[in-house]
Structure 1
Amino acid sequence: MPISMFSECQRQARTAIMNDVASSDAHIRLGMFEAACDILAAAVIVYDKDDRLVFASRQVPRYFPLPPEMLQPGTRLRDVLGAIFDSGVRYGLAPEQRGKAPNREEWISTRISAHWRELHDAVERLGRDRWVHFRKRRLPNGYNITTLVDVSEQKKQEEQWRLDLERIALTEEILETLPSPMVIKDRNLTYIAVNKAFCAIYDTAADAILGRSVWALADAESSGRIEASDRGVLETGEPFTLAEHIVRADGSDLYVITHKYRIGAPGHHAIVTIMEDMTAYAAGEQVMADAGDTLLRVPGGFVAAQNCFDPVRDAERRLLLDQIPPEDLRAAQGGRVLVVSPNPRIADILVGEFKVRSADCCAVRDMPEHDAFLTLAQARGLAVDLVVIDDNLPGHGGGESRFGVATRLVKPDGIGPDFMPALVEAHELLSNDESPLGDIVTSPALSDDWYIATDITSMPPTALGDVEVLVAEDNQINQFVFSQILESMGISHRIAENGEEAVTLWRKHQPRLVLMDISMPVMNGIDATLEIRAAEKLTGTHTPIVAVTAQALNADMQNCLDAGMDDYITKPVSPDMIEVIYRRYAAARLEKIVA
Structure 2
Amino acid sequence: MTAVEDGEKLDTTRLAQVKRCLVIDDNASNRLILEHMLQQWQVECDSCENGFDALKRIIDSAPYDAIICDYHMPYMDGLETMRMIRETLILRDGYTPVILLHSSSENAELHEKCANLGIRFRLSKPVKRDDLFAYLSNLQHPETAAPSLPMEVARETETQTNAPRPGVRILIAEDVAMNMLLIKTIVGTLIPGAVIVEAINGADAVDQYKRGVPDLVLMDVQMPEMDGLAATSVIRELETVTGRHIPIIALTAGALKGERDKCFAAGMDDFLTKPVAPEKTKAVLDKYLSGMQ
- State the TM bucket, normalised to the shorter chain: 0.5 to 0.7
Q: 2: distance between equivalents of 1:533 and 1:276?
A: 43
The Cα offsets for residues 160-205 of structure 1, whole Å up to 9 and x where unpaired, read as xxxxxxxxxxxxxxxxxxxx889xxxxxxxxxxxxxxxxxxxxxxx
**Correspondence list, 1:502-541, <5 A:** 502-541=205-244
1:327 is aligned, of 98, 107, 128, to: 107
Tell me the residue number matched to 1:480: 181
Identity of aligned residues (%): 26
Say whether residues 1:470 and 2:171 are aligned partners: yes
The Cα offsets for residues 371-398 of structure 1, whole Å up to 9 and x where unpaired, read as xx9xxxxxxxx9x98xxxxxxxxxxxxx
Amino acid in the other structure paired with 2:85 = F
Q: 1:277 to 1:497 in 2, by over 3 A?
A: closer
Tell me the residue number matched to 1:35: none
TM-score (normalizing by structure 1): 0.29
Q: 2: distance between equivalents of 1:544 and 1:584?
A: 10
| Cα RMSD after superposing both structures | 4.6
TM-score (normalizing by structure 2): 0.55
Tell me the residue number matched to 2:274: 571
Q: 2: distance between equivalents of 1:304 and 1:521?
A: 38
The Cα offsets for residues 27-70 of structure 1, whole Å up to 9 and x where unpaired, read as xxxxxxxxxxxxxxxxxxxxxxxxxxxxxxxxxxxxxxxxxxxx
Tell me the residue number matched to 2:87: 311
Tell me the residue number matched to 2:24: 226
Q: 1:239 to 1:500 in 2, by over 3 A?
A: same
The Cα offsets for residues 65-86 of structure 1, whole Å up to 9 and x where unpaired, read as xxxxxxxxxxxxxxxxxxxxxx
Amino acid in the other structure paired with 1:354 = R
Displacement of 1:303: 3.8
2:287 is aligned, of 568, 581, 584, to: 584
Tell me the residue number matched to 2:45: 259
The Cα offsets for residues 554-590 of structure 1, whole Å up to 9 and x where unpaired, read as 11111111111111121121221111111111233x2
Displacement of 1:474: 1.1
Aligned length: 203
Q: 1: distance between equivalents of 2:255 and 2:240?
A: 29
Displacement of 1:330: 4.8
The 3-state SS of whatever aligns with 2:267 is coil
The Cα offsets for residues 85-114 of structure 1, whole Å up to 9 and x where unpaired, read as xxxxxxxxxxxxxxxxxxxxxxxxxxxxxx
The 3-state SS of whatever aligns with 1:521 is coil
Displacement of 1:240: 4.1
Q: Which has the higher contact order (CA 8 A, sep 6+)?
A: 2
Displacement of 1:329: 4.7
Displacement of 1:357: 4.5
**Correspondence list, 1:23-38, <5 A:** none
The Cα offsets for residues 508-564 of structure 1, whole Å up to 9 and x where unpaired, read as 221111011100011100000000000010111110001111111111111111111
Q: 1: distance between equivalents of 2:88 and 2:200?
A: 19
**Correspondence list, 1:352-371, <5 A:** 353-357=119-123, 363=142
**Structure 1 unaligned residues grouped into runs of 5+:** 1-179, 183-221, 244-255, 262-274, 280-301, 318-325, 340-345, 365-372, 374-381, 386-464
Displacement of 1:260: 5.0
Tell me the residue number matched to 2:4: none
2:254 is aligned, of 551, 555, 564, to: 551
Q: 2: distance between equivalents of 1:540 and 1:547?
A: 21
Q: 2: distance between equivalents of 1:277 and 1:469?
A: 32
**1:546–1:569: 8 Å Cα contact kept in structure 2?**
yes
Q: 2: distance between equivalents of 1:564 and 1:471?
A: 17
Q: 2: distance between equivalents of 1:554 and 1:515?
A: 19
Displacement of 1:241: 4.8
**1:511–1:543: 8 Å Cα contact kept in structure 2?**
yes
Amino acid in the other structure paired with 1:355 = F
The 3-state SS of whatever aligns with 2:290 is helix
Q: 2: distance between equivalents of 1:233 and 1:312?
A: 25
The Cα offsets for residues 460-501 of structure 1, whole Å up to 9 and x where unpaired, read as xxxxx9552111111111111111111212132122111111
- Structure ID, larger Rg: 1
